[in-house]
Chain A
């Protein structure tokens, strides 16, 4: 029954988990849809630190469950744990197929290695103190598994859908992880390969969540107990134990390593059952005859060292908050000195805050409808590997969308209501007029302005001059009047001099054509973009749409700390022609 409950729970969690990483229709995510990601330990812990109420509740629930039952998280909720269970199951099938009757060759009791897991946990906590979630992102079991899903699930689902429909209905976009995909898969393969070799060894040596929960599950209230008088030493439980934590000689189950899969309970017909045990009286427990001789789980030295570190972690969080405060707030209309190359999603508030909190699980990358959220390679530096950034060569941030903040399980991207999101300046656009097609080719374009949702970019008419050399008197009038010094006289005395315009400098003011006495200088009315930076929210639509290559005329650089853009509401437009009759 216990095992069946665990399998059912794992099945539900896995289904919801896989489902959460399929996003073929770009629907608005329902509130329940990403519940299972929010139940994960590391995201909930980080979310609690960022003041997300739901996350605090999850942490309290998970800790209570651990104190009551032990590491149920590891078998019931953790997706990587469940995936490892699948691998272990496959290994058992493989062994059977090859005539090895017992997988006991691989799974037997092993001495605990508490120094290893607490060292790992200490390193992770120290790393958090030093560089945020840089290391956590690579070791957190949820994030490892989630990235694997983010990289694989959606493209596979899209391919399946297209095959079923017999046409391309959904673009597959393997490109979200691209060449980073092997790294993502490789990291996930480590625990899975270890699981094939020695069961849940990752969970009890490397995994920081496993180590942390082990501390709390030294003596859960409701734990596995053996009945030595009933035991027949068949060792079925030992072979069933994926955590290799059943010490049959001493009739002991090491609850710090036990991942509560309850496989042993199903394997045992002789009294191995979970039961209520009062923690502080366990040495006098009549059933636990081993008493003092029992091997005490983690040696206290490593535990003490850890507890010291736990205190450090609190200050680490405080410190990460300070890092954000160190950035001076700028003004939305000014470039300021707080620009950064990589752009973080709206709701992440600042680059350091984001890098300190995000575990690169890739859920937002999957959920983003425009695919502007892409896993970074080196753009944030090493600590930001695989964390999402807005890549404006792939897409732009949809104005009427705030999905990334709504799906983020760990508070790295806070949920913003649409009105706030539509004002949040995550980056700032710059217009390089000299590169613009209008300036270069004297043809209208408007690709950037048509995409601008806030109308920080609009077009205004300019007078773009051209000189007809055959009419030019070389009188120098235009040269003298040009405020940009964009006009010079070229040619030689023999063939005649004429004015020449440097298009990279011209601002299309039209003065030259007005002063020209011969009509050689004429000007063309063309629309060219003008930027009001204080209205810009840095969605990147302009740079995405800009057709100029290789360097685009619209450039967008990220805000180190996000700002609030100004909003201007215009008066109602007036009908320029009769509302009663057709103007033609």
Chain B
């Protein structure tokens, strides 16, 4: 889809909202929407077929627009996956166009400040820079925060967690009004898949704790550190193998999708299928569902599927 087409669509979506109905807006969308979406907003929006920014706009439109999540004057923290010193084409990090666009949307919605950080695996400055995210964020009026020093983390307790009852969490997560989780979908050699829940490992100081105290359980527990107000998953060119760092472009598949929503478990369950996993393959999804953090049975989830022509 060309940008021009998208803008047309965007106007269409806007106009539709003013009419207070959504029916018939997305002619290519699947007809078998669960009844749940008829009344309220979907908890999972799956978009495919457009460029990343267009898909994000379409997903947000279906979720009620950015204004449903960000109110004027609120501070926003966006947590992309920006953990590796890799260029955007390698899909090891969330694509900068998405992060930049989200910063812009938040700013336009009246956010007092938009901060972005990740506790990176590779050197943080190189990862911020070479992922393209730093430039995209700063260009759109956001601010990149360091997460490379223990002093920017604060103790946080989550009593209902099973293993990760206490962790040092980045202060931006604890102090911001709105938390937007923006990971990228990838294969993961240990957790089998990294998407929305796994992205929370970049919120804490001691990642080693996760690995040594049942990785899957800790990933599920990490949702309790702070549940994201909105999750946006970049599944445009997911890494199918050799994840999460990847070797070369041959590791990527062309999915051209984006998932967004408020149910973190549902998004991960759907994302898992995009990578060809069977139910039960990714244990942290089952654990999180078991803990009541979201719905893993997609037949019970209000999904809106959108295909951009």
Which residues on A are within 8 Å of B, measured CB to CB?
A: 25-26, 167-171, 369-370, 395, 398-401, 437, 441, 443-447, 449-455, 457-459, 527, 529, 545, 547-548, 569-577, 579, 581-584
Contact = CB atoms under 8 A, between A and B. Distances in A.
20 contacts: A26-B123, A168-B149, A400-B130, A441-B212, A444-B216, A446-B191, A450-B189, A450-B190, A452-B245, A453-B247, A458-B242, A459-B190, A529-B189, A545-B121, A547-B212, A569-B248, A574-B240, A574-B253, A575-B254, A577-B274
A398 B303 contact: no
B214 A527 contact: no
A361 to B, nearest CB: 22
Contacts of B48: 582
Given A444-B215, A446-B189, A547 B208 contact: yes
B42 to A, nearest CB: 13
Interface string B184-206: 00001111100000000000000
Given A369-B123, A400-B130, A459 B247 contact: no
A446 B123 contact: no
Contact of B215 (A399, A401, A446, A571): A446
Query: Chain B interface residue count: which class?
Result: 35 or more
Given A26-B123, A168-B149, A454 B247 contact: yes
B275 interface: yes
A582 B250 contact: no
A582 B125 contact: no
Interface in B102-127: 121-123, 125-126
B241 interface: yes
Nearest to B49: A580
Of A443, A527, A569, A579, chain B has the most CB atoms within 10 Å of the CB of A443
B148 interface: yes
A444 B190 contact: yes
Contacts of B182: none
Contacts, number: 144
B18 interface: no
A170 B255 CA distance: 38
A523 B250 CA distance: 33
B251 interface: yes
Interface of B: 30, 46, 48, 85-86, 121-123, 125-126, 130, 146, 148-149, 151-152, 188-192, 207-209, 211-217, 240-245, 247-248, 250-257, 269-270, 273-276, 283, 298, 303, 305
Contacts of B283: 444
Given A450-B243, A548-B212, A583 B273 contact: yes
A576 B86 CA distance: 25
Contacts of A450: 121, 188-190, 243-245
B250 A570 contact: yes
Contacts of A583: 273-274, 276
A459 B273 contact: no
A434 to B, nearest CB: 16
4 tightest A-B CB contacts, nearest first: A446-B190, A576-B276, A449-B189, A547-B208
A364 B181 CA distance: 37
Contact of B190 (A453, A527, A548): A527
A446 B212 CA distance: 10
B126 A437 contact: no
Contact of A445 (B215, B242, B257): B215
Nearest to A548: B212
A581 B209 CA distance: 38
Given A453-B247, A570-B251, A575-B254, 19 more contacts: A168-B149, A170-B149, A400-B130, A444-B190, A446-B211, A450-B190, A450-B245, A457-B189, A459-B189, A529-B189, A545-B208, A569-B248, A570-B242, A576-B276, A577-B273, A577-B276, A582-B257, A582-B270, A584-B270
Contacts of B212: 437, 441, 445, 547-548
B243 to A, nearest CB: 7
B251 A25 contact: no
Nearest to A579: B254
